[in-house]
Amino acid sequence: MNALQNHVALVCSWPSTLTGNTAESAVSHMCSTSQSEIASLDEGQIIEKFHKLEIKCIGYDNFVDCEEANYLETLEDLRKLIIQIQKNSLFSPNEELAEIETDHVKLLMAPFYQADVLFRIMDNRAERVKLAHVFWLEYLRLLNHYGVLDKAQEQHWKFYMNKHKVSAINELKDATVDDVKEAKKMMEELQQQRPDAYSNREQKIAEHRQKKEIEAALDMLKGYKDEQMKREFYMSQIQRSVLVSFE
């Protein structure tokens, strides 16, 4: 198993009903690590570990410890953290977002940080970028599963998901006739869905404005003093991460 396989995240089975999708087809060969190899953490330790890793990831945005060895270590720690989340069954595919405990809500961002860190790595660049996009798509799938994406964001995510599927089929060396037909059909649909230059510009402006509004809300909420404000702070962070994922 190479360095990339050792340090990429285990998204493809969290929650369990989201398996068999983009991440699984792209990284199924990376999900063979035995969970028994990782020391068990309790719920409190998982939350504490996540916050420490989040601080590292935010630090990278501010050019703190931006070395590839640190990126790889962070990816490995995030991979292990997600395994712990799975082991402790902190999320259920049958629960609604409102049913998730506030301290657990923040953990939904683990795949986002995996994609973010992957995208920073320069070694084996093409594959890193490709996998980062896969994980961003799966992160958006996860949030859509919990009803976080609005209608426009859901359509935007589906557009990029289908675009990825077309690329994946085109890269198949043993693609069947049916595969080729499916890719051609999807490409035609994507061409029809592609926004014109004006609409795309307006969308970018709207997203930039929304991001600024969310960042202002985060600034106000960061000193949260009760459970409700803490949850609003976490949800605002998630909403901001959605916009970043689409950038």
pLDDT, tens digit (0-9, with 9 covering 90-100), for 201-245: 777 788 889 899 999 999 999 889 899 999 999 999 999 999 999
pLDDT at residue number 187: 80
Residue type at position 155: Q
pLDDT at residue number 196: 58
Distance of CA 31 to the CA centre of its chain: 16
Are 162 and 189 spatial neighbours (Cβ–Cβ below 8 Å)?
yes
Q: Which of 109-113, 128-132, 202-206, 229-233 has the lowest mean pLDDT?
A: 202-206
Residue type at position 191: Q
What are the tens digits of pLDDT across the range 165-190?
888 888 887 888 888 888 888 787 77
Q: Which of 102-106, 193-197, 238-242 has the lowest mean pLDDT?
A: 193-197
Residue among 109, 15, 134 nearest 55 (CA): 109
Average pLDDT, the chain: 82
Quickly state the pLDDT bin for 51 (edges 50, 70, 90): very high
Are 125 and 133 spatial neighbours (Cβ–Cβ below 8 Å)?
no
Instruction: Give the C-alpha separation, 179 to 166, whole Å.
Output: 9
pLDDT at residue number 186: 78
pLDDT at residue number 214: 94
Q: Which residues touch 81 (CB under 8 Å, ≥6 apart)?
A: 46, 49, 50, 53, 110
pLDDT at residue number 7: 34
* pLDDT of 37 strictly over 80: no
Quickly state the pLDDT bin for 24 (edges 50, 70, 90): very low
Q: Against a cut of 0.85, is the pTM above it?
A: no
Helix (H) or strand (E) holding 159: helix 151-170
Are 109 and 238 spatial neighbours (Cβ–Cβ below 8 Å)?
yes
| Cα dihedral 45→50→55→57 (10° resolution) | 150
Helix (H) or strand (E) holding 238: helix 227-246
* pLDDT of 8 strictly over 70: no
Q: What is the DSSP letter of 93?
A: T
pLDDT at residue number 20: 38
Tokens 């426009």 -> residue: 152
pLDDT at residue number 206: 85
* pLDDT of 134 strictly over 60: yes
Give ∠ CA 19-245-183 in degrees, rounded to 5.
60
Which one has a higher pLDDT value, 30 or 14?
A: 14
SS3 call for 73: helix
- Total count of residues recorded for the chain: 247
SS3 call for 236: helix
